[in-house]
């Protein structure tokens, strides 16, 4: 009896609460991106009003203070100082905030300038995520990015100079025409900047994007599976050499600099998503807002939040736990899986030894986590462990 309450507590050591705010505007549409955004800014003002109304409408979402705020997009760095200030003001007004708040802003290099940096700092933003993607100008052009490699580097140094001491940069690999040398050069340059955090995503060709169309009609070639795997392996060794910890499949940090906000997605923590297409999780339900700026605004203006709700079954929760936890460094806690989520133990006994023998998974007492070769096959392994 005593034993089991103790264990329950262990599972939930940290209880984080986070707010995500989606800013659905971009100055230019990247050819690979299928996140929700618009390049027409005419609704921006109304949108900010709507975001603030949603912040108020959903003020009772949490029962504990907020630990993280994350402005993502789209491109949150396109917001004016007034707009940003209003958003922050309403959060401060309506939510209890923890004392160790992590506030992240996704910023595009071309938006990073002295004024903006000052503004962001004055609002309490203490973490920047800079969308560098690559330091190769020819590839940046192909991706339809506005900025060039030099803009990224300048922006980075400016942010540092302004006192930002927790900077993350986004990189992508497996890009069209990208050679292994180019990728290594990107990594070297990124590391030379010594950011606290690096997110590096293998390019996913999404159907409803320019790349998706070009790829389908055979007019776009990207490095094949073998190369992608090599790029990924290169990255893991190079970053580890420089002391970066791979705490999630695509995320690396110097000790002490995990993204608290993103970690809450992977640790089944509660989060509230504000804005069109934003996702929320309250511990048992997932909700996602309509991904359309006008319908979102109109619905909010009428006093309602336009979301779809899905209540997770025990099986859903087990599968989500497997899928997200397996991607993290800590991996899956078996006891949590079998006791809290009722995953059948005999099924584990049937697959784990084989996954361990083949070197895809490491097991230490009650934890299983992916090895380097396992990380390359994460989805395949997730499928093996998934419940039907």
Partner 1 sequence: MENIRNFCIIAHIDHGKSTLADRLLEFTNTVSKRDSKAQVLDDMDLERERGITIKSHAIQMDYIYEGKKYILNLIDTPGHVDFSYEVSRSIAACEGALLIVDAAQGIEAQTISNLYLALGQDLEIIPVLNKIDLPGAMPEEVKDQVVDLLGCDREGIIHASGKEGIGIEDILAAIITRIPAPKGDPAAPLQALIFDSAFNSFRGIEVMFRIFNGTLKKGERVKFANTSKEYFADEIGVLRLEKEPRLQMEAGNVGYIISGIKEAKEVKVGDTITHKDRPGEAIQGFAEVKPMVFAGIYPVETSEFEELRASMEKLQLNDAALVWEPETSAALGFGFRCGFLGMLHMEIVQERLEREFNMTVITTVPSVQFRAYTTKGEMILINAPSDMPDPSSLDYIEEPFIKAQIITKSDYVGPIISLCMDKRGLIKNQIYLTSDRVELTFDLPLAEIVFDFFDKLKTISRGYASLDYELIGFQTSNVVKLDIMLNGEKVDALSAIVHREKAYDWGKRLCEKLRELLPRQMFEIAIQASIGAKIISRETVKALRKNVLAKCYGGDISRKRKLLEKQKKGKKRMRSVGNVEIPQEAFMAVLKLDQ
Ligand X SMILES: C[S@@+](CC[C@H](N)C(=O)[O-])C[C@H]1O[C@@H](n2cnc3c(N)ncnc32)[C@H](O)[C@@H]1O
Residue 363 binds: one of partner 1, ligand X, none (C-beta under 5 to 8 A by kind): none
Q: Which is nearer to partner 1, 75 or 151 (CB)?
A: 75
> With CB under 8 A as the contact rule, which of the stretches 2-10, 131-139, 154-162, 313-321 interacts with partner 1?
313-321
> With CB under 8 A as the contact rule, which of the stretches 78-86, 114-122, 238-246, 278-286 interacts with partner 1?
278-286
Q: Which is nearer to ligand X, 206 or 339 (CB)?
A: 206
Residue 319 binds: one of partner 1, ligand X, none (C-beta under 5 to 8 A by kind): partner 1
Diameter of the chain measured on Cα atoms: 63
292 binds partner 1 (CB under 8 A): no
307 binds partner 1 (CB under 8 A): no
258 binds partner 1 (CB under 8 A): no
Q: Site for partner 1 (CB under 8 A): how many residues?
A: 46
**Sole binder of partner 1 in the list 23, 55, 132, 249 (CB under 8 A):** 249
Q: Which is nearer to ligand X, 53 or 215 (CB)?
A: 215
**Sole binder of partner 1 in the list 183, 211, 271, 343 (CB under 8 A):** 271
Q: Which is nearer to partner 1, 140 or 355 (CB)?
A: 355
114 binds partner 1 (CB under 8 A): no
> With CB under 8 A as the contact rule, which of the stretches 112-120, 147-155, 159-167, 220-228 interacts with partner 1?
220-228
> With CB under 8 A as the contact rule, which of the stretches 132-140, 141-149, 332-340, 379-387 interacts with partner 1?
379-387
328 binds partner 1 (CB under 8 A): no
């Amino acid at each position: 009896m005593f034993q089991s309450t103790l264990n329950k507590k262990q599972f939930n050591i940290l209880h984080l609460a986070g707010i995500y705010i989606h800013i659905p505007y971009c100055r230019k549409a990247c050819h690979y991106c299928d996140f929700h955004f618009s390049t027409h800014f005419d609704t921006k003002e109304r949108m900010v009003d709507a975001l603030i109304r949603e912040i108020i409408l959903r003020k009772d979402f949490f029962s504990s203070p907020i630990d993280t705020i994350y402005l993502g997009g789209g491109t949150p760095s396109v917001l004016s100082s007034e707009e940003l200030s209003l958003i922050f003001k309403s959060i401060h007004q309506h939510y209890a905030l923890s004392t160790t708040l992590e506030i992240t802003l996704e910023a595009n290099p071309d938006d990073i300038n002295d004024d903006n940096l000052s503004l962001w700092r004055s609002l309490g933003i203490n973490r920047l995520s800079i969308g560098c993607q690559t330091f190769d100008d020819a590839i940046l052009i192909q991706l339809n990015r506005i900025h060039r490699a030099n803009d990224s580097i300048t922006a980075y140094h400016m942010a540092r100079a302004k006192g930002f001491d927790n900077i993350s940069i986004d990189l992508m690999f497996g890009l069209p025409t990208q050679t292994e040398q180019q990728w290594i050069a990107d990594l070297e340059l990124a590391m030379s900047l010594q950011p606290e955090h690096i997110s590096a995503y293998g390019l996913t060709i999404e159907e409803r994007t320019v790349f998706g169309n070009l790829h389908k009609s055979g007019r776009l070639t990207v490095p094949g599976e073998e190369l992608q795997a090599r790029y990924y392996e290169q990255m893991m060794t190079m970053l580890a050499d420089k002391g970066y910890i791979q705490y999630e499949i695509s995320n690396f940090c110097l000790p002490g600099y995990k993204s608290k906000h993103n970690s809450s997605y992977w640790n089944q923590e509660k989060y509230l998503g504000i804005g069109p297409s934003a996702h929320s999780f309250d511990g048992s339900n997932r909700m996602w807002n309509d991904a359309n700026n006008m319908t979102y605004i109109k619905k909010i203006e009428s006093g309602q939040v336009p979301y779809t709700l899905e209540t997770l079954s025990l099986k859903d929760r087990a599968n989500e736990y497997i899928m997200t936890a397996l991607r993290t460094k800590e991996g899956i806690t078996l006891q949590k899986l079998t006791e809290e989520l009722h995953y059948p133990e005999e099924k584990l006994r049937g697959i784990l030894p084989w996954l361990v023998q083949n070197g895809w998974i490491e097991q230490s007492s009650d934890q299983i986590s992916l090895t380097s070769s396992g990380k390359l096959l994460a989805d395949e392994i997730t499928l093996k462990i998934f419940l039907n």
